[in-house]
Every structure is written in C-alpha cells, then in structure tokens.
Structure 1
Amino acid sequence: MDLGGVGLVPTLKISETYDDNIWEAADGDEKPSSWVTVVEPSLTLGARDRLNTYQLNYRLSNSTFHSSHDDDHTDHFLRADSHMEFSARSRLDLNAGYSKQQDTRDSTNRDNDEIGNKYHSTNIGGLYGFGAESAKMQLELGANQEWRTYDNNRDSGSFTREKDRDTLSLVTTGYYRVAPKTRLLAEVQYNDYDYDTNTLDSEGYRYLVGATWDATAKTTGTVKVGYEEKDFADASKNDPDNSTWEVGVTWSPLTYSRVKLNSSSRAEEGSSTENFVDTTSYGISWEHDLTDRITTNIGYTFTDKDYEGGSNEGRNDELDSYNLGVNYKMRRWLDLGVGYSFKDNSSTDADSAYDRNQVFFSATASL
C-alpha cells in the first residue's frame, strides 16, 4: 500500500497447533496437551531513498491455549532497520528493537502453579562496512547493546531474577577476496555480560577464521572455525577455553531443490544453576519445490548441551528435533501450510527429559 512514498505491508498469520506436551513435562509425569491458536498480525513501513532503505516493523503474537488458559499470552515485537550507503566503499546498517514476551512453563516453574516467565528486552546496534563489494579487501565493524529484564517468577525457586543482564557485543571482520565469489575471513568477537544480581559477570572472546562464498559449484555458505575463551569476574569460577565454529551451507543440486547444512559450537550463558552451557548443534534440512506453488521441507537437528559449574555440574542434554511440512502458495497474497514436529530430549536430569509432538495448520495473508 503506497502512502505517499512510504510503503505499508500488512500481514496476518493464523495457525492452529495440537501440542501433546505444552510444558515439556518430564517422561513419566502427566503431560498437559492442548490445541493452541496463534494469531499474528504485523505492519511493516518501508521507504527508499536511492540506495538507502528504512524499515519499521511491529508484530503482535497472541497465543490461546484452549486446555490451559493460564498459559494464554500476547507477545509484542517492534524493530527499526536502516541501510545507508555513503559511497561505493562506505555503508552503515543500523537497527533497534524492543520485545515483550512470555515463555510457556518449563522444569523451573511448571510444578509451582506459576505462569511462564515474562521478560522484556531492548537492543540497539549497527554494522559499518568499508571497502567496495568487488574490492580485494573489506572490513566490517559491528556493535550491539541489549538490556533484558524478567518481570515475574522472581522468587529464588524460579531463577528469573538472576537472569537480568546487560550485554555488550562487538565484532570485527576482515575479508580477503581470493576469487570473484569467494572471500577468506578473519573475525574477532567480544561479549561483555553484566548481571544485576548474579555472580556470572564475564567477558568472552571468540577468534575465528574461515571463508564465505556465493553460488560456487552450486553451493552458497560461510564456514568459521576458531577458539573461544571466557573470563569470569568471580575468581572462584573456572574460565573455559574451547574450540568453536559456525557453519552454514546451502547446496542446490537443482534449481528447485535446496539442502541446508548448519552446525555451531560455543559456550552459552548459564543461570544461577550453572556457570555456562557448552552447546554443540548439527542440522540438515531439505526444501523441494514440487511445483511453482507447492514446497515441501524436512529437517533434523541434534543439539548437545553440557552444563558446567553450579548445582547443574555434570548435567548433559541431548535433543533430537525432527520436522516436516508442506507450503502451498494458493494466491499471490495467501500461503497455506501444514506440518509436524517431534522433539526428544534425553537428559541426565530426570526432570528435564521429555518428548513432544506438535501438528500444525497455518494461513498467512498479506497485501
């Protein structure tokens, strides 16, 4: 919709899901099930000035649990983005966002007659790029600041008050072109975690090297491998130093078929029950266009989590996630979808071992 030089895109997505374990209840416990209706309207404003683009998006997500109305909630998401090109060698991306969300109940609060954890977060960030797209070398400098605060379940049994934190993230990436569509890269990431009430304050560094390429031998992707270290402000905590990697590759053997491979390994933030979580994941998915309007997808992800420090020391979770679906572009403005997902989490903590089945139907309409 043209509003005098500003474009407005309204979108409405409605989905109906049958979930046989909405709280991810432990194996052997009673598993509450429910039909869940999610209504997601969104509005996007967009404007363009030559090579510069600006966008503002607001999305509301209302979830109704028909057999557990205490879990009903409405999430809000607001985001602003801009892309500015000052010259062929200088460009800047800026973004800012705010969200207010509620999680469904989990092992920390499903037995305490409490609703899911509520939190709000604000972030502002940017990425500056120097060097022409076709040049031999390019440099990118990025920064992001996030503030996250939990709004409920703040007693000592639910652990949310220990999760309030401010996070500063910085990244520097240098690229060196070795072929028209292939670049080598070296990257340094820095994260500063400042908690309000916990002793998990830390600084983290990741040093990565790798390559990124586009449409080379039917593949597109980025591979980064390296080393990470974490330095806790509390001297009594062990400071980890591990290998780390990020892999994302898309292989298109045919114009209408895409296989995506993803893998990552890094130390994720913990809570009052552990210092950090050493997380490794591997994923594969296949998208196939049966016709111009019908697309199928199937995927599998394996995630391994080792909990380090605190009362969770020695805990290990292994999560297998399967999904499949079909999307039908019924009209230019209307997509219909049907799908199924299954999760099986094995854990050395009996309260965290679960399985979960979800079947969904969706419709997305936009102008």
Structure 2
Amino acid sequence: MSYTDGPLQVIPQVSAQLGYDDNIFATETNEVSSTKFILSPSVQLKAEKGLNEYSVNYQITDATYQDSSADNYTDHELSGRAYFDFNIRNRLELLAGYLKTHEDRGSGLNQGSNATANEVPVEYNVKSMQATYEFGGKEAKGRIKLVAGVQDREYDNFRAQTESKDRQTVKTSATFYYRVMPKTSLLFEVRNEDIDYDLTSVTLDSSERKYLLGAEWDATAKTSGTLKFGYSEKDFDSASRTDDDGLSWELAMRWSPKSYSVVDIATAKEAEETDGIGNYIDTTTFDIQWTHAWNDLLRTRIYYGLSESDYVSSDRKDDQTSYGLGVDYDMKRWLNFGMDYVYSERDSNQADLDYEKNTLYLTVQGSL
C-alpha cells in the first residue's frame, strides 16, 4: 500500500524477524547462542516529472538479543536518488547515502578468540556520493557510461583500535558498450580506485586499477547477465608494502528455464581492505540461488555460497561455505511470511578462527 499526493508517492514498509543463532560470536569453542528479534521499518518518498525520477529512502534496523543484550544494535540508512533523462542520448543518475551501522562481535576487527575483546559491537558510519552519466541511445550501436564516486568511512567507538581504519575511497570508471546483437553488447571497462587512510602513520594507502573486457546480454527470455574479465593492479604508496597484480572477474547471470523458476549465479575475484592482517584480502566468491514459485502465493529458495580469502603477504587463508533453504508465502498483496535456515562455516589455517553456525529466522513483512 502507498499514499499519493499529487506527484509525490509515500511507501511505508515494515519487516519483523524472530530468529535463533547457535553461535553469535562465530567462535570455534565456547559457542554462545541466542534468540534474536529484528524490527526494520522503512519509508520511501518517490516523485516523477516526465521521464525524470526522484526518491528518498530511510530505514532503521533495531535488533535485540535475548541472551546477550550487549550485542543489541540500532542501524540507520538514508539514501537519495535523482535520475535525469535529458534526451534519447543523455542520462544522468545522482546518488547520495548515509549509513550508520556496526560489526557483529566475531566479525571484522574482532574474530576468533578476540570476538568479545570489546564489550559491545564496533560501530562506524559511511557517507557516500556517486554520479553516473551515460551517452548514447539505449538501442545505439555504441554508448559510454562514466561513473565517479566518493565514500568516507569513519569508526565511532573504540578509537584506540579503530582510528587506524578510517579512510576515504574515490572511485572512477569508464565503460564502452558496443552492440553486436539486438540484446547483446560487448564492453570494455577501465576502473580506478584511490584508498586514503586518515592517519598518516597507516601505510595501507593504495591505488587499484582494473582493465576489463566482457559482455552484457539479455539474449532470450531464459538468460540475462553481465560478464567482465581482465587484469587488476594494486599499488601501495608506501615502499614497505609490495605491489601486486593478477586476474579479476565478475559474473552476474540469471537463468530462467521456466517463467516460475529462476537460477541466479554470481562469482567475482577482487581485492578487499584488510582488517589488520596482511596488505589486503584477495577474495574469490561464488554464489548460486534457485527460486521456484509453486503457485502465485508460495515460493521456495535454495542457496549455496563459497568464498576463498587469501590475506596477501601473510600466511592466513580462509575458506567460508554457507548454504540455506527458504520459503515465502504471500498471504496478502501487502503481507508476506518467510522462513529461512542458513548453515555457515569457516575453515582457516590459523588457530581459533574456524567456526560453524546455524541460524533460523521467521520473517513477517508488510506495507502499511
């Protein structure tokens, strides 16, 4: 349901989850379990003027642990979007966002035997802006997309530990698309990412560049996706850090053998910033999910995920695996029930970092 006043549309929603986690700190021994209640109301304001679109979104997520109240959290997310369709050849999208969130104890800066070193979760905020400009008609033989964005991350508590992780990231990219069939385009993309840490004593400042070839397709009613494959470089400002390069890829594909049955596949190889070990984390991920609609009201989901993390310049290597089952039931157009079970584990070559956990959630989601 929504409320409309002239060109303005107001769309409120709310989600409530009741769950159980048998290892909330993701530890190998002395696991702590807890039930968990998450309430997440949101509101979206939308407006359209001709082909132009404007929206503002706000969401608050409040979580309560029955058996570990120190891990309760309240996250906030505010975002805005403006889309301008100037003419058939020129389009511009502007995005801005503010996220105030946290790291669950047992993740991020505190893992394994250090999971509860801090008495509450680490909190941080992220401010971001991005502009995307496209030149060329959507059906033209060639078109260009230019992207520029900045993201500022700042930690809010435990500053003796977290101050060294404050950083600003500036991203730019240029992509050229060449249409070879009505719904298939080849592409060439160049990206640059400059990562600057606030403290001058931190030696992790770096630049990342990627050169990617690939394709974007929506060839039939059964398949669509984007594939990018190429070469990446990571160069550190400090001579004490070793520069690196290697292969990089991204795949996001959807296969729909039937209109009511969809398989989503995604895989990527990319560099992530370290939480304190090594120069950076060389991460490879693979995810697959099958969603099947048994009728207009009932859907099921089966998920499998795998990631391999190599902490470059250190000995640490992690393998993480997860799989899950889910079911959704649309009782009303505005009311949905869901249930999800997820098993996840980490296998590390470092002591105290292995873990296994099971989570079960019941979700009720509705529009007010």
The TM-score normalised by the length of structure 2 is 0.96
User: Whole-Å Cα distance in 1 between the matches of residues 238 and 69 of structure 2?
Assistant: 42
Question: Is residue 2:25 matched to residue 1:20?
Answer: no
C-alpha contact 1:301 1:322 (8 A) present in aligned 2: yes
Q: Give the drift of 1:113.
A: 4.3
User: Whole-Å Cα distance in 1 between the matches of residues 354 and 301 of structure 2?
Assistant: 27
Query: Which amino acid in the other structure matches residue 306 of structure 1?
Result: D
C-alpha contact 2:297 2:331 (8 A) present in aligned 1: yes
Residue 345 (structure 1) aligns with: 346
User: Whole-Å Cα distance in 2 between the matches of residues 284 and 273 of structure 1?
Assistant: 29
How big is the alpha-carbon RMSD for the aligned residues of Structure 1 and Structure 2? 1.1
Q: Deviations over 1:98-140 (max 9, x none)?
A: 0111221014442324211100110011100000000000000
C-alpha contact 1:150 1:163 (8 A) present in aligned 2: yes
Aligned length: 359
Q: Deviations over 1:65-113 (max 9, x none)?
A: 1100001110000000111101000000110000111221014442324
Residue 329 (structure 1) aligns with: 330
Q: Which runs of 5+ in 2 are unaligned?
A: none
Structure-to-structure mapping, 1:197-236, within 5 angstroms: 197=199, 198-216=202-220, 218-236=222-240
Query: Which amino acid in the other structure matches residue 94 of structure 1?
Result: L
Query: Which amino acid in the other structure matches residue 23 of structure 2?
Result: N
C-alpha contact 2:203 2:241 (8 A) present in aligned 1: no
User: Whole-Å Cα distance in 2 between the matches of residues 333 and 113 of structure 1?
Assistant: 41
Residue 52 (structure 2) aligns with: 52
Query: Which amino acid in the other structure matches residue 296 of structure 1?
Result: T
C-alpha contact 1:114 1:153 (8 A) present in aligned 2: no
Query: Which amino acid in the other structure matches residue 257 of structure 2?
Result: P
Structure-to-structure mapping, 1:262-277, within 5 angstroms: 262-277=266-281
Query: Which amino acid in the other structure matches residue 328 of structure 1?
Result: Y
User: Whole-Å Cα distance in 1 between the matches of residues 118 and 151 of structure 2?
Assistant: 30
Q: Give the drift of 1:324.
A: 1.0
User: Whole-Å Cα distance in 2 between the matches of residues 32 and 254 of structure 1?
Assistant: 43
User: Whole-Å Cα distance in 1 between the matches of residues 33 and 78 of structure 2?
Assistant: 31
Q: Give the drift of 1:272.
A: 3.1
Structure-to-structure mapping, 1:166-205, within 5 angstroms: 166-197=168-199, 198-205=202-209
Question: Is residue 2:365 matched to residue 1:364?
Answer: yes
User: Whole-Å Cα distance in 1 between the matches of residues 103 and 271 of structure 2?
Assistant: 23
State the secondary structure of the residue aligned to 1:350. coil
Query: Which amino acid in the other structure matches residue 212 of structure 2?
Result: L
Q: Deviations over 1:228-248 (max 9, x none)?
A: 001100112111101000001
User: Whole-Å Cα distance in 1 between the matches of residues 191 and 105 of structure 2?
Assistant: 33
User: Whole-Å Cα distance in 1 between the matches of residues 318 and 168 of structure 2?
Assistant: 27
C-alpha contact 1:65 1:71 (8 A) present in aligned 2: yes
C-alpha contact 2:184 2:219 (8 A) present in aligned 1: no
Change (3 A) 1:215 1:328: farther
Change (3 A) 1:341 1:205: same
Structure-to-structure mapping, 1:92-111, within 5 angstroms: 92-106=92-106, 107-108=110-111, 109-111=114-116
Percentage of matched positions with identical amino acids: 40
C-alpha contact 1:212 1:223 (8 A) present in aligned 2: yes
Residue 154 (structure 2) aligns with: 149
Residue 163 (structure 1) aligns with: 165
Residue 34 (structure 2) aligns with: 34
Query: Which amino acid in the other structure matches residue 80 of structure 1?
Result: G
Residue 301 (structure 1) aligns with: 305
Residue 83 (structure 1) aligns with: 83
Residue 142 (structure 2) aligns with: 137
User: Whole-Å Cα distance in 1 between the matches of residues 221 and 260 of structure 2?
Assistant: 16
User: Whole-Å Cα distance in 1 between the matches of residues 211 and 248 of structure 2?
Assistant: 9
C-alpha contact 1:162 1:271 (8 A) present in aligned 2: no
Indicate which of 244, 248, 266 corresponds to 1:244. Answer: 248
User: Whole-Å Cα distance in 1 between the matches of residues 15 and 312 of structure 2?
Assistant: 40
Query: Which amino acid in the other structure matches residue 259 of structure 2?
Result: T
User: Whole-Å Cα distance in 2 between the matches of residues 70 and 6 of structure 1?
Assistant: 41
The more displaced of 268-277 and 48-57 is: 268-277
User: Whole-Å Cα distance in 2 between the matches of residues 70 and 51 of structure 1?
Assistant: 48
Q: Deviations over 1:2-30 (max 9, x none)?
A: 123200000000001100011111x2x21
State the secondary structure of the residue aligned to 1:161. helix
State the secondary structure of the residue aligned to 1:270. coil
Question: Is residue 2:113 matched to residue 1:112?
Answer: no
Q: Give the drift of 1:160.
A: 2.0
Question: Is residue 2:73 matched to residue 1:68?
Answer: no
Change (3 A) 1:276 1:47: same
